[in-house]
Amino acid sequence: MNWQRAADEFHQYLAVERAYSPHTCAAYARDIEQFRAGYFDRAGVDPAVKKVDAIAIRAHLAVLFRNNDATSIARKLSSLRRFFRFLASRGVIEGNPARTIRSPKRRKALPRALEVDASFRLVEAPSDHRDPRAKRLRVRDAAILEILYGAGLRVSECSGLDTGDVDRRRYGGETVLEIRRGKGNKGRIVPIGSKACAALDAYLEVRPQLRDPKTSAQDPAALFLNHRGGRLSPRSVQRLVGRYAIAAHTDATPHSLRHSFATHLLDGGVDLRSIQELLGHASLASTQIYTKVSLDHLMTVYDAAHPHARKTTGLPADEKPAPVRGRKPPTR
């Protein structure tokens, strides 16, 4: 079996048997093609599947260290491990040459969450933003921002919402969103608060006006539409969040709104298991990182408020520090 055929069969396995998303399959394909191209540059030929060894993989990683951080290299190595494990399971090769290679040590970055006040400024930006676009688009944008912050959705999940995913009947009159296309094709139910409901209702009133100006066509299923009546893409959602973040004088992305959702719930006393379910994390370990974010905030409050802590900062004992703003449970 030559390299190209092996790569094609691996891609088929991921897409069909594992049901991975097109984006995930494309990421694996890029990493495997990068290894092939690097091997070709060094040896002048494509790698022979049965002859690739740990030395060749380490040589590839050494080149990657010039322009990639540890996280990127670890992901690329993981792709190669998965590829060769697949070939070994099919009997194409005898063993996985990448199995014994350690991933580079990665520095764990904490999620970047906004203060509550900054989150409120951002989700309220469409109503204050002097944008020459039609009012109906600002109404749509307000609904998107409220749902991103109020439900903690990934940007792809928000873009992928259909009108039928808004359920107001099955759960005692509470409005929930049914996420059908979550990460790893996992579904979940997420409630939304009164502010998000009001913003969503306002958008649904103007949604019929979002049509192609030439054909009057409209995607009948997609919840969030662009000005031509088609489904709003994840990239478009990222751009609109960035635009309103500038207007709100904050540094925010759709994912930082998701982090803010989780961190503010934890600050408000919600348990980790519930937050795990709301975020759609497969493992509680992915959710536990928010305890570190919340603890960092707790230490900041302690250092600012406790009398002995104030003495260590050099402030006079009778001088009160500036109040710490923003970190109160969200009430939206």
The predicted pLDDT at position 293 comes to: 61
Query: For residue 181, what is the domain's CATH number?
Result: 1.10.443.10
Picking from 22-26, 86-90, 139-143, 213-217, which range would have the lowest pLDDT averaged per residue?
Answer: 213-217
Q: Would you state the pLDDT for residue 194?
A: 87
Q: State whether 142 and 84 are in the same domain.
A: no
Same domain, 273 and 141: yes
* Domain co-membership, 85 together with 121: no
Which of these ranges, 62-66, 88-92, 327-331, has the smallest mean pLDDT? 327-331
Q: What is the dihedral of CA 68, 70, 76, 82, to 10 degrees?
A: 170
Residues 42 and 164 in one domain: no
Q: Are 129 and 275 found together in one domain?
A: yes
pLDDT tier, 310 (very low <50, low <70, confident <90, very high otherwise): low
82 and 170 part of one domain? no
The answer to whether residue 107 sits within a structural domain is no
Tell me which long-range contacts 207-213 makes (C-beta under 8 A, separation of at least 24). 207/140, 209/136, 210/136, 210/137, 210/140
Same domain, 69 and 148: no
Catalytic residue among 11, 183, 228, 231: 183
Alpha-helical segments (H) within the chain: 3-12, 22-43, 54-64, 70-89, 116-123, 125-128, 135-151, 155-159, 194-206, 234-247, 254-267, 272-279, 284-287, 289-305, 307-312
With beta carbons less than 8 A apart as the criterion, state whether 115 and 327 touch: yes
Which one is catalytic: 188, 255, 297, 332?
255
Q: Which of 164-168, 275-279, 313-317 has the highest mean pLDDT?
A: 164-168
For residue 248, give the nearest of 123, 149, 138, 122 by alpha carbon. Answer: 122
- Answer yes or no: 108 catalytic: no
Pairing of β 166-167 and β 176-179: antiparallel
Q: Based on the residue annotation, tell me whether 258 is a catalytic residue of this protein.
A: yes
pLDDT category at 327 given cuts 50, 70, 90 is very low
Q: Does 273 lie in the same domain as 226?
A: yes
Residue 46 lies in a domain: yes
For residue 160, pLDDT over 70 is answered with yes
Q: For the chain, give the percent of residues with pLDDT over 90.
A: 44
For the cut 60, the answer to whether the pLDDT of residue 131 exceeds it is no
In-domain check, residue 296:
no
Query: Does residue 36 fall inside a structural domain?
Result: yes
Domain contains 330: no
Average of per-residue pLDDT values in the chain? 84
What is the pLDDT, as a whole number, of residue 294?
A: 62
pLDDT tens, residue by residue, 255-308: 899 988 888 888 888 888 888 888 888 777 777 777 666 666 556 655 666 665
Same domain, 77 and 133: no
**In the annotation, is 154 catalytic?**
yes
Q: pLDDT, tens digit, for every residue of 226-247?
A: 989 999 999 999 999 999 999 8
Tokens 């009778």 found at: 318
**What is the pLDDT confidence band of residue 10, given thresholds at 50, 70 and 90?**
very high
Same domain, 240 and 137: yes
- Catalytic annotation, pick one of 82, 136, 154, 327: 154
Average pLDDT over residues 154-173: 87
Is position 98 within any domain?
A: no
In the structure, what pLDDT confidence band is assigned to residue 309 with cuts at 50, 70 and 90?
A: low
Residues 121 and 193 in one domain: yes
Q: Tell me how far CA of residue 158 lies from CA of 7, 28, 103, 180, in angstroms.
A: 32, 24, 33, 11
Residue found under tokens 């990493």: 31
- Pair 152, 232 in one domain: yes
15-24, 91-100, 142-151, 287-296: range with lowest mean pLDDT: 287-296
Task: Name the more confident of 168 and 132.
Answer: 168
Q: Total structural domains in the chain?
A: 2
d(CA 80, CA 43): 19
pLDDT for res 275: 83
pLDDT top residue among 77 and 180: 77
Identify the domain containing residue 281 by its residue range: 116-289
Flag whether 329 is in a domain: no
Q: What is the pLDDT of residue 321?
A: 45
| β partners of residue 166 | 177
Point out the catalytic residue in the list 13, 149, 244, 290. 290
Tokens 């930006």 correspond to: 125
Is 290 an active-site residue?
yes
Residue 186 confidence (pLDDT):
79
324, part of any domain: no
